[in-house]
């Protein structure tokens, strides 16, 4: 219908208040790909109740992403909402392309790295952070430590200084953890992954890094980016 398209296209449903995810995507999506974005309304504070309200908004937003054009994967860009909604995300937007969330991307990444025990750092309120920890636990990943910074507005999370993100990551780490997860697509974590890995000597994965890596991996597209995840010998191979 549309002729031959040389571009590999991906979709992203993001929260209206996210200040970070598109800039991270611009850094992580390689030449020959294109990301198409739709945003959904979101009402802070970032609590389980407000996160659950994103569920009914997903299908309509996904339908607005270049209708009728094939997509390699469809990303829902909210870590904590993915934890709240669980399989509802796939049910809402899964009919068109493989669905990726930051959490499913992290699970895929840790499987590739052979990791089963993680430390967790989130900028959220404690009750929201607990949802993410519980999601990992249900997927067979042991969360040996967790640190939540207590912010309730994702716009505040996006403006955290570089030094504060690094400091929180170092405090969240634990000797028994094989890797560290930096949760929240709004968190400005991508630029500091390399430095944190050097400081703690283990893999560090952020929400945006995991989501876009996994989407590219599913599509079989080689990717480059910061951290141990992108040094996997065959990081584009399906696990």
**DSSP state letters, 57-93:** GHHHHHHTSSTTS--S-EEEE-HHHHHHHTTHHHHHH
Please check the confidence at residue 183 and state whether its pLDDT lies above 60: yes
pLDDT for 238: 43
pLDDT for 239: 40
- Give the span between the Cα atoms of 181 and 44, in whole angstroms: 23
Count CB atoms within 10 A of the CB of residue 138: 10
DSSP state of 176: T
pLDDT for 178: 98
Topology classification of domain 8-100: Rossmann fold (3.40.50)
Count CB atoms within 10 A of the CB of residue 212: 30
Confidence bin at 123 (pLDDT 50/70/90): very high
pLDDT for 237: 47
State the average pLDDT over residues 101-114: 96
Please measure the distance between the N-terminal and C-terminal CA atoms of the chain and give it in whole angstroms.
33
Nearest to 29 by CA among 73, 90, 79: 73
Extract the tokens encoding 184: 């929240």
- The rounded percent of the chain whose pLDDT value lies above 90 is 92
Extract the tokens encoding 117: 């025990």
pLDDT for 233: 47
pLDDT tens per residue, range 195-211? 999 999 999 999 999 99
Of residues 81 and 230, more confidently modeled: 81
State the average pLDDT over residues 165-192: 98
Phi, psi of 46 (to 5 degrees): -80, 80
pLDDT for 223: 86
Of residues 95 and 151, more confidently modeled: 151
Query: 3-class SS at 212?
Result: helix
pLDDT for 5: 87
Extract the tokens encoding 31: 């030449």
pLDDT for 235: 44
CATH 3.40.50.1860 maps onto the chain at 8-100
Q: What is the chain's mean pLDDT, rounded? A: 95
pLDDT for 60: 97
State the average pLDDT over residues 157-177: 98
State the average pLDDT over residues 11-17: 98
pLDDT for 2: 60
Architecture of domain 104-208: 3-Layer(aba) Sandwich (3.40)
pLDDT tens per residue, range 30-52? 999 999 999 999 999 999 999 99
């Amino acid at each position: 219908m549309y002729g031959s398209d040389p571009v590999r296209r991906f979709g992203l449903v993001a929260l209206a208040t996210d200040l970070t995810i598109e800039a991270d995507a611009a850094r992580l999506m390689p030449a020959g790909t294109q990301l198409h974005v739709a945003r959904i309304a979101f009402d802070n504070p970032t609590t389980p109740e407000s996160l659950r309200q994103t569920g009914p908004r997903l299908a309509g937003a996904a339908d607005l992403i270049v209708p009728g054009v094939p997509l390699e994967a469809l990303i829902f860009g909210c870590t904590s909402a993915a934890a709240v909604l669980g399989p509802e995300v796939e049910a809402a937007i899964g009919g068109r392309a493989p669905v990726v969330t930051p959490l499913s991307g992290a699970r895929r990444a840790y499987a590739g790295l052979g990791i089963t025990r993680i430390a967790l750092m989130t900028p959220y309120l404690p009750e929201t952070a607990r949802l993410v920890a519980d999601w990992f636990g249900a997927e067979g990943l042991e969360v040996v430590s967790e640190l939540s910074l207590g912010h309730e507005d994702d716009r505040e999370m996006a403006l955290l200084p570089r030094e504060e993100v690094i400091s929180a990551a170092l405090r969240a780490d634990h000797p028994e953890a094989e890797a560290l997860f930096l949760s929240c697509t709004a968190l400005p974590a991508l630029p500091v992954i390399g430095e944190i890995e050097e400081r703690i000597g283990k893999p560090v994965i952020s929400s945006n890094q995991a989501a876009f890596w996994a989407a590219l991996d599913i599509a079989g597209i080689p990717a480059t980016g910061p951290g141990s995840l992108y040094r996997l010998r065959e990081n584009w191979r399906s696990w």
